[in-house]
Amino acid sequence: MRVSSQGVTVVALLADPDAPTEIAQRMARILPTRLADKSGQGRKFDVEVVSEPFTAGTEDPPTLMRRIMDRGRAENWDIVVALTDLPLHAHGHKLVVDLSHEHGLALLSLPPLGGLRLQRRARRAVEEAVLSLAGLRVARAEGPPQSQPFLGPFVSRLAPVHPGQVGEEETADLRYVVSGPRGYLRVLVGMVRANRPWRLVPGLSKALAAALATGAVATVNSTIWSLAESLSAPRLVIATVGSVALMIGWLIVDAQLWHRSTEVSLEARQKARLYNASTVMTVGIGVLVCYGGLIVINLVWALFIINGQVFASVTRTPLHAAEYWTLSWFVASVATVGGALGSGLESDEAIRAAAYSKREQERRHMLQDDHDD
């Protein structure tokens, strides 16, 4: 890696497509100023964002670091920070960041940063990585090399991050990982955040249309009125859980989102569990949002269409607020089952973003298309 002249350090943010690229583009607007302020010494930084599927075909950190090194050598960059939304593993732990001070490289995995304030945490992580790499390079140019790089602020801000083992033959010379139940939970929440479950709702337009049609008909059905009034709160909860679980299961099966590992290693099984857990949680959040919307729409429809005297003559119960709520709740469960049937009309693209394995396949296709061109 070359050292820029005129005190300008060229930093490249090499980002996987989708969420990593969006995060990199947002932070690139303010990163040069923040890096210059924190580094002092009159240094200037020029930040470039490059979006490409550099993780396609592998999730092995040493291999990815070699790819990043080769990519950096081919360009006019001093420091390369690569961002991915894939959960990477190293020596049985979940990788947060790999650093190579010799080559000016960093590999940052976003899921271990968690699901809250991701943009801010990612920016801080990138800042600490760049300043560590740039600082060590300056120290080597101006005096004796430092014996041990230090990223104390990075660790304290992102606990439970801690230093990890680095192999002798690896490009990286410093690694931070997360481990234990807290680390697993943080990675899982970060994966769900990277899946952006809110994008699943508009992608289920046909399922929502089927659910709304089912709900509209069920709301004016006298048999449904009688059933709703006869059900206790525990049974309504069971109906909710059953209908939501049916919808989640059908979406995952129909779109083939379940990840099956072809390897038998412990790390491969852990990866499969993470992928599937994040898929279930992502689809579950999307379905629950739809379910909540159905309750509201059914309630509005019931307020408009149901005649209190007719309802009372059928159910022998006056139509009050509690009856409106119970009916809307039960109809939402019935409509969700109808929506599950309608979800079979959706294209795979509508919900494939909810699965890491599907995005990985897409990135491989993108990389193959680039090579073909």
Digit-coded pLDDT (tens) for 135-161? 744 444 444 344 444 444 444 454 577
Beta carbons within 8 Å of 370's beta carbon, 6+ residues apart: 52
Reduce the secondary structure of 129-181 to three states and give it as a string: HHHHHHHHHHHHHHCCCCCCCCCHHHHHHCCCCEECCCCCCCCCCEEEEECHH
* Residue 202 token pair: 């508009």
Percentage of the chain surpassing pLDDT 90? Answer: 38
Question: Helices 118-142 & 19-28, crossing angle to 10 degrees?
Answer: 60
* Residue 300 token pair: 């509005």
Q: Which secondary structure element, helix H or strand E, spans residue 75, and what is its range?
A: none
Euclidean distance between CA atoms 255 and 17, whole angstroms = 22
Residue with tokens 């940063």: 113
Determine the pLDDT at residue 163.
Answer: 80
Is omega for the bond preceding 197 within 30 degrees of 0, making it cis?
A: no
pTM: 0.79
- What would the pLDDT profile of 22-71 be if each residue is shown by its tens digit? 999 999 999 999 998 888 767 889 999 999 989 887 888 999 999 999 99
Burial (CB count <10 Å: 0-12, 13-18, 19+), residue 156:
exposed
